[in-house]
Structure 1
């Protein structure tokens, strides 16, 4: 079922996987030539979300401090962020908060096919809503860009 996962599907599955499944998905992703990271971030401020993902991607060597890599990551995060905000980009200034899991996957668009270079996929998955417990709902966003 998981042997030929594309870049985007890999990022989506990793972000939503429970611990038992995540190990298998990661192993399959790595066998397909992908680098994978996963983390958590909660914030009412979008800059904290962007910073957490960029910091994790650099720390885990998904990207280096090279303009084209940072640029690809930024736009992938922005696309995923627009997805969770449903086009209304903003959190704290409109009294919304987010508790998110993020995944970043780097590799070819299709497994073991580097014919069109490296790409980055970013997924944001979690809950968003008013900053009151129980007033949130699930959200998900995906962004993919070439490096």
Structure 2
């Protein structure tokens, strides 16, 4: 039950969020997008909307939406340094995100996993007061 080196979905999601052009294995699907806001719900909604629109997750399957949510929240913990708050503590983000879904294990019965990567800036809502941030979340479906 080892990880396939060519199917590291977290690495692929990270590179896509950083703006790299990569070739995904045939078994993987992905999407990228951008979001800028002081509202945490808008970050989550933007990622979920993009993943559904691009066919990464099935719109009516709760388990896929739930897995995406947990991967997104884990990635947001990295961006916000563990305090998953934005506007309520006067912070804003400008993020590029990516979502990758695939089978990272040699054993197909392990099923699909989903990775969310976030890269961009976070800081006070004052131009020039932000700094770079990165977050990665991976969850099984």
TM-score, with length taken from structure 1 = 0.87
Alpha-carbon distance between aligned partners in 1 of 2:50 and 2:80, rounded to the nearest angstrom: 22
1:57-96 residue pairs with structure 2 within 5 A?
57-64=51-58, 65-96=60-91
Residue 136 in 1 paired to residue 138 in 2? no
* Distance in 2 separating the partners of 1:66 and 1:104: 17
Q: Distance in 2 between matches of 1:44 and 1:100?
A: 11
Stretch moving more, 3-12 or 126-135: 3-12
Task: Provide the aligned C-alpha RMSD in A.
Answer: 1.5
| 1:36-55 map, 5 Å | 36-55=30-49
Q: Any conservation in 1 of the 2:7–2:103 contact (CA below 8 Å)?
A: no
- Asked if the contact 2:97–2:116 (Cα under 8 Å) also holds between the matched residues in 1, the reply is yes
* Runs of 4+ with >4 A deviation: none
**Partners in 2 of 1:6 and 1:113 — Cα distance?**
14
TM-score by length of 2: 0.91
Q: Distance in 2 between matches of 1:71 and 1:135?
A: 34
How far, CA to CA, are the matches of 2:118 and 2:14 in structure 1?
9
Q: Any gaps of 5 or more consecutive residues in structure 1?
A: none
2:9 maps to 1:13: no
Does the 8 A contact of 2:92 with 2:123 survive in 1? yes
- The number of residue pairs the alignment matches comes to 136
- How many angstroms apart in 2 are the aligned matches of 1:113 and 1:84? 32
Specify which structure has the higher proportion of helix: 1
